[in-house]
Structure 1
Amino acid sequence: MTGAVRLEPVDERNLEPLLSVAAAEAEPEDVMPPVDAPAGWSLARRDAFREFHRASFGGLAGPTRTAMYAVVSGGEVVGMVRMTRCDEPGVVETGMWLGRSARGRGLGAAALRELLHAAAAAGMHTVVADTTPDNAGALSVLRRCGAELREENGKIRARMCLDSAIPIR
């Protein structure tokens, strides 16, 4: 079914499938911070991907203050969505990526809705995100999830209040 996803906390069990999707269907700069390594999905970059995700195994209470989730559709890992505590209490920032084959099928909006529920369950009241004006996919997902969008200094800032109902569209 289009849009049907579940979120699984990223752990050793799903880290390699997540890396496989990233290497096959995404660019390194779209799924992890920059690293000093050869271009493309080199061995060094793959190791950095693993370490980047392992650093957040502690979740919102851990040292990175980040909970990462594998996005699973049809039993397969298709991407990742995360939330990171902001300095403002009750606010988390989110980011997401999906492999190319999972894009345009409603999975991004479904994953973000699941993340909004997880954020509310964790006691958060607001989820924020940043993107660029030319990222049509991200803007569509954010709009479908009820985000209030505002342009600031050439970036789009999204804000989703969890005090209201989360859209099901």
Structure 2
Amino acid sequence: MVAQVVDLRRVNQDSLEDLLAVAVADAAPDEVMPPVAGPPGWTAGRQEAFRDWHRARYGGLAGPLRESTFTIRYDGAVVGSARLALRDGDDVLETGMWLGRSHRGRGIGTAALRLLLAEAARAGARAVVADTKTHNTAALGALRRNGATLIAGHGTAEIHAELSPPSSAPTANQ
């Protein structure tokens, strides 16, 4: 169990630079954002694309992209990001997350996913889905510990997870 407190906070202008700093210092671009053309690494253009991607989601689930992003905080410090996005109408949400490499393997992802499921319940979701790969054992563990049904892709390394939001759970900070 995580000894320190894990919480989620909606990404906003005040937290965006902290999130980017964690990404640059402790993750590869392809782990934390959609692909961007150009040379590898955290170029100035890729950092600006990271900011733009998160700013476009400030409107949350009710915004034009129908997606919310959150900072994952561990013992008060930003250590990664998580998201919820509306899919398949208004009652299925997709989730995904990343943690800086130095924060993996501590149960933070499991705790953050539990908080995301609570957010999904408050949003009225009947289900939450996630996609990962068979080699991502940390994600698979967090999904299993939160009660996911895992469905393997036929002949691929793809895993589709389906989760049910709880009827009541802790609240993420806005």
The change in CA–CA distance for 1:163 and 1:4 in structure 2 (over 3 A counts) is closer
Task: Output the CA distance in 2 between the equivalents of 1:117 and 1:3.
Answer: 19
Report SS of the residue matched to 1:63.
Answer: coil
Cα pair 1:3 1:110 within 8 Å, conserved: no
Determine if the alignment matches structure 1 residue 135 to structure 2 residue 144. Answer: no
Unaligned 5+ segments in structure 1 are: none
- RMSD value over aligned CA atoms? 1.4
* Aligned residue in 1 for 2:103: 102
- The TM-score normalised by the length of structure 2 is 0.91
Determine if the alignment matches structure 1 residue 156 to structure 2 residue 156. Answer: no
Task: Output the CA distance in 1 between the equivalents of 2:63 and 2:168.
Answer: 29
Unaligned 5+ segments in structure 2 are: 170-174
Q: What is the total number of aligned residue pairs between the two structures? A: 166
Structure 1 segment 79-94 matched on structure 2, within 5 A: 79-94=80-95
* Aligned residue in 1 for 2:121: 120
Cα pair 1:94 1:128 within 8 Å, conserved: yes
**Which residue type is aligned with residue 90 of structure 2?**
P
Determine if the alignment matches structure 1 residue 12 to structure 2 residue 17. Answer: no
Determine if the alignment matches structure 1 residue 31 to structure 2 residue 32. Answer: yes
Runs of 4 or more, structure 1, over 6 Å off, are none
Residues 5-40 of structure 1 show CA distances to partners (whole Å, capped at 9, x for unaligned) of: 110000001000000000011010110000112210
- The TM-score normalised by the length of structure 1 is 0.94
Cα pair 1:150 1:156 within 8 Å, conserved: yes
Q: Quote the sequence identity (%).
A: 49
Cα drift, residue 106 of structure 1: 0.4
* Aligned residue in 1 for 2:54: 53
Cα pair 2:95 2:128 within 8 Å, conserved: yes
Task: Output the CA distance in 1 between the equivalents of 2:148 and 2:4.
Answer: 18
The change in CA–CA distance for 1:24 and 1:152 in structure 2 (over 3 A counts) is same
